Amino acid sequence: MAMYDLEKPEILTTSDKIRRIRSNSVRIFFSILQTAVLVLASCVVLYLLLITPHQVDGNSMYPNFHNTDYV
């Protein structure tokens, strides 16, 4: 046996190349979709927990805000 066994390069047919390209395209698409869903879910959670607009009830913040104004 030789010191370095080099594997023969893989010979692909055209249909194998197309199959690989489609497989990679699908993998990239789902990766982008997963990222978009994660970002959207994070934005919804942040909006509901931190950035929710609050409505003034009463005259406690007068003269800056009036009753039913949003903060």
Residue-wise pLDDT for 3-17, tens only, equals 667 777 778 788 888
pLDDT over 80 at 44, yes or no: yes
**Among candidates 22, 2, 26, 4, which has minimal Cα distance to 14?**
22
3-state SS, one letter per residue, for the chain: CCCCCCCCCCCCCHHHHHHHHHHHHHHHHHHHHHHHHHHHHHHHHHHHHCCCCCECCCCCCCCCCCCCCEC
Verdict on whether the full-model pTM lies above 0.75: no
11-15, 24-28, 37-41, 54-58: least confidently modelled range? 54-58
Residue-wise pLDDT for 19-36, tens only, equals 888 888 899 999 999 999
Question: Which residues have a Cβ under 8 Å from the Cβ of 20 and sit 6 or more positions away?
Answer: 12
Q: What is the mean pLDDT of the chain?
A: 85
